[in-house]
């Protein structure tokens, strides 16, 4: 059955890959701040778009109201907009820190808050948060990024309990490194290490969307197998040095 799906960060990377596939059988609306890129992706995939800064709640609320006025419902929200911050904390620019926290965490909260009322009204809805493996782990020179993603983890776990009685499902996807499309300090570039293809994440998202109304997937981790091997080797190395 066709669904109305809203995707934040829909103009590039994983958001674009999701849009390209989900528009085949659904009504997809993509949100982002770059109008030129949004329009291009929307025209290529015959979907709708709205320019929206997810860090501004009142702008988000207005856009979501416009979507509801036009489509009558929002069945699925995919919170995908996100930024990366690298380097040690004392070397991170304060404005960059603020931007990463606001986009990665506040943005998720803002869009979710705006969408919940229509889902409560219909006693139906699915919210998928595109999180990171660093929402349940840590890494040096990722302090700010990890903080934002751990925040999404706590938000998601609490939201699952809060919304279950309204028959609204919330899923957290902990992503390993993607093969390309990752935003490193605002610069999109291919990864130099093995990463999962965005198409595999799309397959996972489609599976979650297609599960029956009474079946919930609270969380799932997806990563390249070599990513796991590297983590194991790092753990073994650290353990051997602590003997």
Strands (E), the chain: 4-8, 27-32, 48-51, 76-79, 125-132, 168-175, 182-184, 187-189, 219-222
Sequential DSSP letters for 108-140: HHHHHHHHHHHHHHHT-EEEEEEEEGGGSS--T
Boundaries of domain holding 207: 4-241
The predicted structure's pLDDT at residue 187: 47
| Contact indicator for 82, 33 with CB cutoff of 8 Å | no
The predicted structure's pLDDT at residue 229: 74
CA 55 distance to own-chain centroid:
14
Dihedral of CA atoms 118, 153, 53, 36 in degrees, nearest 10, equals -100
The predicted structure's pLDDT at residue 238: 54
Model-level pTM?
Answer: 0.91
The predicted structure's pLDDT at residue 242: 60
Domain with residue 192: its CATH number is 3.40.50.720
Q: Is 163 left (phi over 0), alpha (psi -120 to 50) or beta?
A: alpha
pLDDT in tens, 20-64: 999 999 999 999 999 999 999 999 999 999 999 999 999 999 999
The predicted structure's pLDDT at residue 86: 84
- The phi and psi torsions of 174 (rounded to 5 degrees) equal -90, 105
- Of 49, 134, 145, 174, the active-site residue reads 145
List the chain pLDDT tens, one digit each, 243 residues: 899 999 999 999 999 999 999 999 999 999 999 999 999 999 999 999 999 999 999 999 999 999 999 999 999 999 999 998 888 888 989 999 999 999 999 999 999 999 999 999 999 999 999 999 999 998 888 899 999 999 999 999 999 999 999 999 999 999 998 886 544 444 455 554 678 999 999 999 999 999 999 999 999 999 988 877 776 665 544 555 565
Give, in order, the Cα–Cα distances in Å from 229 to each of 137, 140, 200, 233: 15, 18, 19, 6
Q: How many domains does the chain have?
A: 1
| Contact indicator for 52, 59 with CB cutoff of 8 Å | yes
174 noted as active-site residue: no
C-alpha span between 12 and 72 (Å, rounded): 26
């Amino acid at each position: 059955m066709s669904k109305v799906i809203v995707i934040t960060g829909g103009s590039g990377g994983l958001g674009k890959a999701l849009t390209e596939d989900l528009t085949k059988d659904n009504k997809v609306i993509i949100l982002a701040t770059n109008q030129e890129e949004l329009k291009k992706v929307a025209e290529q995939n015959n979907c709708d778009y709205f320019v929206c800064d997810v860090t501004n709640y009142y702008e988000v609320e207005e856009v979501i109201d416009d979507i509801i006025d036009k489509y009558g419902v929002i069945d699925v929200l995919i919170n995908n907009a996100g930024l990366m911050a690298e380097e040690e904390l004392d070397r991170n620019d304060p404005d960059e820190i603020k931007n990463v926290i606001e986009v990665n965490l506040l943005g998720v909260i803002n869009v979710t808050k705006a969408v919940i009322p229509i889902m409560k009204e219909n006693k139906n809805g699915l919210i998928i948060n595109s999180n990171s493996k660093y929402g349940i782990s840590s890494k040096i020179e990722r302090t700010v990024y990890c903080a934002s993603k751990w925040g999404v983890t706590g938000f998601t776990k609490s939201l699952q309990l809060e919304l279950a009685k309204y028959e609204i499902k919330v899923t957290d996807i902990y992503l390993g490194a993607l093969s390309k499309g990752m935003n490193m300090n605002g610069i999109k570039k291919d990864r130099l290490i093995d990463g999962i293809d965005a198409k595999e994440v799309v397959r996972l998202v489609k599976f979650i969307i297609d599960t029956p109304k009474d079946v919930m997937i609270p969380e799932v981790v997806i990563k390249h197998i070599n990513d796991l091997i590297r983590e194991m080797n790092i753990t073994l190395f650290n353990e051997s040095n602590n003997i």
